[in-house]
Amino acid sequence: MLRIFWKIKKSSKFWWLLTGFWTLLVYAVIIFDYVKDNAWQGYLNPLLVVYVGILAIYAGVRVRFMNGVIGGDNFGVIKN
């Protein structure tokens, strides 16, 4: 089980597919919410939080594979 998790964690293709799926889902919910006059307003924020998290992981995996770096990457966090 741990080997499968390690392969998924190292696979850029997995995160690319997951990001593509969530992108389509988020756009569909946004369009549906707009057409139905804020019918899914309560679902939009949690969905977007998950989407941003997946994008952050995908960006980290992508940078790691492009630079050939094995260790972790540093990301800046902006606070108001």
Q: Are 45 and 33 in contact (CB under 8 A)?
A: no
For the record, the structure tokens of 21 come out as: 């799926």
- Side chain identity at residue 13, one-letter code: K
What pLDDT digit, counting tens, does each position of 13-43 carry? 777 888 889 999 999 999 999 999 888 888 8
Instruction: Confirm if 61 and 12 have CB atoms less than 8 A apart.
Output: yes
pTM: 0.63
Q: How many CB atoms lie within 10 A of CB 61?
A: 20
Amino acid, single-letter form, for residue 19:
T
Sorted by where each begins, the domain ranges of the chain are 2-67
